[in-house]
Amino acid sequence: MGWKTVKDHYDIKHIVQVDTRKEYGDVPVIMIGSPYISDIIVIRISDGKIVKRYKDNYINKRLNELQPRLDEDEKNGKLKELIDAKDNFGKLLPVYYIGDHKRIRLMWCEHYGYPNVTTEGTLMYENEFYSKLKAAKYHLLRNTKMNWGRWWRYNVKMRFDEICRQFKIFFKYDLREIWECVYVRCWGRFFVKKGGVK
């Protein structure tokens, strides 16, 4: 992918990650940022264009120096070449990711823990990435049980309340009418046909 090549080439000390966000057109982008603002500078991977530039010239000296270099390399096409280049990683370690689909997925990284990223450029949050498979299974099972319990309590309680409400409305207003209907249609008809009613 080339996100690490970009990071190493410009010697970026900030967090560099790859993400797909709606505000940037739902396409993969390289985001350079901090723990508080993840998208200070955003580069689109498909064409190497800078989607969001660093504007606060007086706050961060490193980003002040980085932005003109990125702008220059965007114009001459070098930024796109860096993105298309193959990333070189050192010793890779297995890391287990629990995503939105509640499945454990094996990924690789150079260093464990936040704010490090995987080889795919995913930022490793503490509650989603685990260095041991046993820990990932435990947390997945625990979260699944908790979510199931919440779902069960919420849905059953809501449905039970709705049934009770319908039951109260039904028997409060329609019990006499139902009884008359049953009597007339069943017992009344039977007795009339047999000559039981005089």
Q: Please check whether residue 21 is in contact with residue 29, taking contact to mean a CB–CB distance below 8 angstroms.
A: yes
What integer pLDDT is reported at residue 146 of this predicted model? 61
pLDDT at position 26 = 84
Percent of the chain with pLDDT over 70: 72
Torsion sign, CA atoms 17, 18, 19, 20:
positive
Domain ranges of the chain: 3-84, 93-131, 139-194
Residue 124 has pLDDT above 70, yes or no: yes
CA torsion angle for 102, 108, 110, 112 (degrees, to 10)?
A: 20
Omega cis (within 30) before 28: no
Task: Give CA torsion, residues 107, 111, 112, 116, to 10 deg.
Answer: -90
pLDDT tens digits, one per residue of 5-43: 888 888 888 888 888 888 888 888 888 888 888 888 888
Does residue 197 have a pLDDT over 50? no
* 0.75 exceeded by pTM: no
Whole-number pLDDT of residue 66: 83
Q: Residue 41, SS3?
A: strand
